[in-house]
Structure 1
Amino acid sequence: MLEARVAQCLRLSHEAQQQGGLQLAATLAQLQGELEQLRGASRPVLRLAPADALLEIDLEGYLIGWNHGAEQMFGYAEFEALGQHILLLYPPDDVQASAVELLPVQAEVAVDVLRRKKSGVLTWLRMQRHAMFDQAGKICGMAVRLSALAEPLTDIDKVRLHARIIEDSEQGVLITDADERIVSVNSSFSRITGYSPFEAIGRTPDLLRSGVHDVEFRAKVRAAMRGHGSWRGEIIGRRKNGELFPQAVTISVVRNEYGDISHVFSLFSDISVHKDAEARMQRMANYDTLTGLPNRCLLNQLVVQGLAEAKRQETHGALMVIDISRIGSISDTLGHEVGDQLVIAIGALFRGALRDADILARVDNSKFVVALLHIEKREHAANVAQKLLNLLDAPIRIDAHALYVGASIGITVYPEDGMEAPALFRFADVAVAKAAQTIEPTFLFYREDMNRRAKEHLRLESEMRLALGDQELELHYQPKVSLINGQIVGAEALLRWKHPLRGMVSPGVFIPVAEETSLILELGTWVLDEACRQIREWEDRGLRMPVIAVNLSARQFDAHLPARVAAVLERYRVRPDQIMLEITESLLMRGADKVIEIMNELVAMGLSLALDDFGTGYSSLAYLKKFPISTLKIDRAFVIGLPYEENDCAIARAIVTMAQQLRQEIVAEGVETPEQMRFLRSLGCDQLQGYLFSPAVTAVEFEAMLGEGRQLMLEEIM
């Protein structure tokens, strides 16, 4: 390298000049000129103090630059240093294979290093490093700046500095002599306590005593003041104005040359702000921000403590989960501020009706939990539950609104149902979910069979999700038969689950579970898709297809339903008039105006709509005439008693008459006997479904029926 050649020549320069080596000197001058040209644009610009040393080293660690400050600092002349390795300046016991100066580092980072002078004296220096680059932009070495560290403080300087630090400290400082008389305080002491130095010096620290600490606590503090180890902790002090305040305190002693205590000093801080913040954080962690009631975290702690006490005392208790109805709809309609005020009012009502020892918590938007930590018997929990339900019978007034809400309550008791908090909470949740299935507000106790059903529901849900991907689901088709000519005029597609181990699982078992979860949406999508696929397959084989009815869950009925149906029809090239969508009366309770709008869109697409299980739920006749429904289906509950049950006959006659007036087609479900069929036909019923003709059959069997032209022999039955 060029730098190495220069370094070698520099080591010889002094000797060469002494011996008259003009040729060597000329070569040196030439090489040094080339070196300056090479490094001219790449040497970093450094701000140097007059006493600072500037060294330049190549990538192998050899010195190629040595300024006057380096000569003064280390005692080596330039010609002595150039060409030497940087380890020349290292302490004898610190010679390493790699030099610190060559390690990559940010330019602004300074480090303290120990270096050796020519005389052998070791000195601490502050070092900064900067990379040097050649004309090609590559690193060719390092520029090293070394500065002398400041001289240590004198004893007088230290005393002055320490006094200034104590006086300006944010912590209060209190110093007493061996007789516990205050001899010195700082400005923060006066700021925190309100006592000036004049008022404090000469008195004892008892002027700050609050009187709230017990004898044992004061003994620990006294022991620290007598030299039995330092003490750190929190103390409640009293300011000059009488106000109590929390303080974090450290107490230590100072001993003289004989080991005797000469002074005691206390460092303390006012932690009122920290305590207030801690209290706020504790409240946020343990209390509901809206109602101020305990939240789930604090409730769990209190219940665990209550259960431990119940085990010791062998007492009884109960947990009640209360699910308030209509909170969400009220918030959506009147605004969240009204909803929040309603929740606050309900919490206040419940709290006022409970004993002081009873725990009331809010654990969710519309859920409260009551823990009755001591009851004499199971019936007492029922009395409390009924009392809380009665509170909600009257309207709750929020601003100008009189709001009605209801509630479902699930109750679990201990030790009967268990003594572990997580299990009891789970049992109460199971009970409240069961209670919520009833129309009227009610309470329900947990029983083991509820838990078994809940576990069975979870297992079924998991297995159904697997069934969707494992092709365990299939559609069966129950024919619809005309009561005019006995021919098949349609069919209802019914979902069936062929479990690999349990065989056919009844829809009455798995459909309610699916309805409770989002799984019903996936099942509904699969049914529509499979029905359209099957229709396309039949049509491609030349089979003349009647209308296929597909059941819709109320949860599928949203603004996107028409688009989803249209996409499936287009995918399989199925005409809209080949599909009938069957809905139940429960759908009509979900806001008639929105439902009608979606219905009209479906009908405009060419689809027909049927109202299934008519008469078993809630339906408004005022709205019924507005719905674009083409078919009413009489539920089998009103068919089974025909023609002998007077009430069933009256209901069936009324439904048929009403449907005829509305120009709707009438289908009777569950027809099993010729007598039922004859009565329905005499009323003017249009179609029937039921075992009299056929149960639901597989796609292959239904195809065979259509191919054979199978029909109901009306005259023979008559």
Structure 2
Amino acid sequence: MTDVPKHDAIYPDLPPEDLQRLHSRIFNDSDQGILITDAHERIVSVNLAFTQITGYSRAEAIGQTTDLLRSGVHDAEFRAKVTAAMAGEGPWQGEIIGKRKNGELFPQNVTISVVRDESGAITHALSIFSDISVLHQAQERIARLANFDDLTGLPNRSHFIQLVEVALASVKRHQQVAAVMTVELERLSNISDSLGLDVADELLQQISQRFGQTLRVTDVLAKVGSDQFVVGLLSLEQREHAGIVAKKLLAVMEAPFQVQSQLVHVGLSVGIAVFPDDAQDVASLLRYSDVSVNRIKAEEESGYLFYSPEMNQRAKEKWQLEGELRHALVAQQLVLHYQPKVSLRTGEIVGAEALIRWRHPTNGMVSPAKFIPVAEETGLILDIGSWVLDEACRQMRAWMDAGLAMPIIAVNLSARQFDRLLPNRLRTVLERYQLPPECLQLEITESLLVRGAEGVISIMNELVAMGLALSMDDFGTGYSSLSYLKKFPISTLKIDRAFVIGVPTDENDCAIAQAIITLAKQLRQEIVAEGVETREQMAFLRQLGCDQLQGFLFSPPVAVSDFESMVLSGLRLTLEP
């Protein structure tokens, strides 16, 4: 055995009594609990930190065995390791769950070593321990934040994936059916905006409770987004049973929620992907259920929908289109064509609508009917709309610089562009190209009404005050409100092509066209008919008093140079039969 140096060799200048006092102070003042046991495992000494941590006084501990602190949660193998360390088989360090005097269990970090006499016999065992409850609580909090939603207490996406992956292994072994459902709430952002974030948070908590009461104990419910939950159905007899669960979730949402004296109704859309038919891993099942729920939203419906490969293919095409469209914006692949508007009094070109086209490098000209809905859905319409305004104004400036007298140009505005900053954005682009506002007309749609007509009207008034003309496009197809229409500072109503295509043979189309024209006249607004393709349509609309037409009868949308040639040549529409 290695000889232990005597104290006078370690502290040659320290008298033995001072050294004893130093050791005693270190022992008693340590913030770590210390207990010393004899060869029979009976406690012979403890320090102040021991009594503070365990609750046992020195008198209560002396003479007892370490069983005084035993929690009973450790197995025989673990206790054997601790006993072996106290028997001198080598130092041991680790975590032990101890028990305080009041019965409370607590985690402790323990180091155990032994003291031997000069002959090598074990005389005492020394245990030094720290209460690590606070550390454990912090670790548990971090783990909870990493795995659970803080608001509802439900698993988050990553924890959901872990739980369902484990469960799917069992489902696979027993050749069972499982499903993943994406559950998306409707209008939650509107509720948050109108009633406040605290109401939306309480609503989400109530929704999660209602879902939890509806689902089975074996199902896994998680919150994965601000307005989105996912459900793992891990024990189904057949795939159709997932639809039954979706119906239950939809039914349980029919009753309103009582939130801070407010009655709130919330709708749902549910997308379903089934294991093993659709996919055999959680990530794919989640992706496919997302595809399904997005399909429901795109069709502006509620309810539930099972995933299909065709649906996924359409989603992939949309994602690809979005990426290519983003590139088109910076790669100068977008161009404007101009469709003339013709007077039904003189046959002359009196205006034109600027219409966007996408000159795709491999697919040729892509119809806006294909890419504008994607732009609206992804928010790209804001950038595209800004580009259209800038390009139309740039072109008008170029015409003016060339000495060409061109008619007024109309530009379409998306409802997303129509906000409080719109007047300033228009003012900026007009100033950039030194254009008078009278040369530009803004075409808006009735969908603006769903955003709150009063706020929209104040923006319209500001635009008109700037000298800009406003036109209501696609009139009669959206959210028409005659009470608001009379308040709108609109100079032009456009009859949608849906009501032009059937005239003069379809009685309903004829009646609607006549009603719109009569209404516009009463409001002293100009009337433009879109989509006019035949002379019979033109004659009927002209007889009713329509002011202008736009359509293939005169010209489709054309490139800049072709439109210039039409105007410079004085091309006219022959009005008489």
Q: TM-score range by the shorter chain?
A: over 0.9
CA displacement, residues 318-353 of structure 1 (integer Å, 9 cap, x when unaligned): 222222222222222222222221121111111111
The equivalent position to 1:439 in structure 2, one of 300, 322, 333, is 300
Please name the residue that 2:141 is paired with: 280
CA displacement, residues 544-603 of structure 1 (integer Å, 9 cap, x when unaligned): 322211111111111121122122223323222221111111122111111101111111
Shift of 1:151: 5.5
Please name the residue that 2:163 is paired with: 302
Gaps of 5+ in 1: 1-148
The letter for the 2-side match of 1:403 is V
1:353 aligned onto 2:223: no
Secondary structure of the structure 2 residue equivalent to 1:356: coil
Secondary structure of the structure 2 residue equivalent to 1:363: strand
1:458 aligned onto 2:319: yes
Please name the residue that 1:696 is paired with: 557
1:610 aligned onto 2:446: no
CA distance, structure 2, for counterparts of residue 568 and residue 244 of structure 1: 71
CA distance, structure 2, for counterparts of residue 634 and residue 166 of structure 1: 94
CA distance, structure 1, for counterparts of residue 45 and residue 425 of structure 2: 84
Please name the residue that 2:78 is paired with: 217
1:683 aligned onto 2:544: yes
* Segment of structure 1 superposing worse, 198-207 or 489-498: 198-207
Secondary structure of the structure 2 residue equivalent to 1:436: helix
The letter for the 2-side match of 1:498 is R
Please name the residue that 1:390 is paired with: 251
Asked which structure has the greater CA Rg, the reply is 1
The equivalent position to 1:648 in structure 2, one of 491, 509, 518, is 509
* Segment of structure 1 superposing worse, 213-222 or 701-710: 213-222
Please name the residue that 2:127 is paired with: 266
Q: TM-score, normalised by structure 1?
A: 0.75
Shift of 1:678: 2.3
* Number of aligned residues: 568
CA displacement, residues 597-634 of structure 1 (integer Å, 9 cap, x when unaligned): 11111111221111111122222221111111111112
Please name the residue that 1:518 is paired with: 379
Instruction: Determine if contact 1:552/1:583 at 8 Å carries over to the other structure.
Output: yes
CA RMSD of aligned residues (A): 2.3
The equivalent position to 1:243 in structure 2, one of 93, 104, 111, is 104
The equivalent position to 1:430 in structure 2, one of 291, 295, 298, is 291
The letter for the 1-side match of 2:345 is I
The letter for the 1-side match of 2:225 is D
CA distance, structure 2, for counterparts of residue 468 and residue 210 of structure 1: 68
Shift of 1:395: 1.8
Alignment of 1:121-270 (within 5 A): 152-154=13-15, 157-270=18-131
1:362 aligned onto 2:234: no
Secondary structure of the structure 2 residue equivalent to 1:321: strand
* Segment of structure 1 superposing worse, 571-580 or 490-499: 571-580
Shift of 1:154: 4.9
Please name the residue that 2:4 is paired with: none
1:342 aligned onto 2:342: no
1:633 aligned onto 2:494: yes
Alignment of 1:619-630 (within 5 A): 619-630=480-491
CA distance, structure 1, for counterparts of residue 161 and residue 459 of structure 2: 46
Shift of 1:156: 5.1
Please name the residue that 2:446 is paired with: 585
CA distance, structure 1, for counterparts of residue 444 and residue 522 of structure 2: 21
CA distance, structure 2, for counterparts of residue 185 and residue 532 of structure 1: 88
Alignment of 1:458-477 (within 5 A): 458-477=319-338
Please name the residue that 2:567 is paired with: 706
CA distance, structure 2, for counterparts of residue 417 and residue 153 of structure 1: 80
CA distance, structure 2, for counterparts of residue 528 and residue 191 of structure 1: 75
Please name the residue that 1:659 is paired with: 520
Secondary structure of the structure 2 residue equivalent to 1:697: coil
Please name the residue that 2:430 is paired with: 569
The letter for the 2-side match of 1:549 is A
Instruction: Determine if contact 1:633/1:666 at 8 Å carries over to the other structure.
Output: yes
The letter for the 1-side match of 2:548 is Q
CA distance, structure 2, for counterparts of residue 230 and residue 576 of structure 1: 88
CA distance, structure 2, for counterparts of residue 397 and residue 514 of structure 1: 37
Taking only the aligned residue pairs, the percentage that are identical comes to: 62
Please name the residue that 2:347 is paired with: 486
Secondary structure of the structure 1 residue equivalent to 2:576: helix
Secondary structure of the structure 2 residue equivalent to 1:676: helix
Instruction: Determine if contact 1:589/1:619 at 8 Å carries over to the other structure.
Output: no
* Segment of structure 1 superposing worse, 511-520 or 473-482: 511-520
Secondary structure of the structure 1 residue equivalent to 2:350: strand
CA gap of 1:590–1:169, structure 2 versus 1, over 3 A, is same
Please name the residue that 2:265 is paired with: 404
The letter for the 2-side match of 1:714 is L
CA distance, structure 1, for counterparts of residue 393 and residue 229 of structure 2: 47
Alignment of 1:522-541 (within 5 A): 522-541=383-402
* Segment of structure 1 superposing worse, 392-401 or 153-162: 153-162
Secondary structure of the structure 1 residue equivalent to 2:315: helix
CA distance, structure 1, for counterparts of residue 328 and residue 76 of structure 2: 72
* Segment of structure 1 superposing worse, 307-316 or 564-573: 307-316
Shift of 1:671: 1.5
CA displacement, residues 255-312 of structure 1 (integer Å, 9 cap, x when unaligned): 3333332222222223333333333333333222222222233223223323333333
Shift of 1:637: 1.7
CA distance, structure 2, for counterparts of residue 202 and residue 573 of structure 1: 98
Shift of 1:511: 1.2
Shift of 1:152: 4.8
CA distance, structure 2, for counterparts of residue 237 and residue 424 of structure 1: 45
CA distance, structure 2, for counterparts of residue 481 and residue 162 of structure 1: 105
The letter for the 2-side match of 1:663 is R
CA distance, structure 2, for counterparts of residue 198 and residue 517 of structure 1: 73
CA gap of 1:265–1:406, structure 2 versus 1, over 3 A, is same
Q: Which has the higher contact order (CA 8 A, sep 6+)?
A: 2
CA displacement, residues 503-541 of structure 1 (integer Å, 9 cap, x when unaligned): 111111221121122321221122122212222222333
Secondary structure of the structure 1 residue equivalent to 2:182: strand
The letter for the 1-side match of 2:159 is L
Gaps of 5+ in 2: 1-9
CA distance, structure 2, for counterparts of residue 537 and residue 478 of structure 1: 18
The equivalent position to 1:505 in structure 2, one of 366, 385, 395, is 366
CA gap of 1:313–1:664, structure 2 versus 1, over 3 A, is same
* Segment of structure 1 superposing worse, 532-541 or 394-403: 532-541
CA displacement, residues 627-662 of structure 1 (integer Å, 9 cap, x when unaligned): 111111121122222222232222222222222222
Shift of 1:215: 2.1
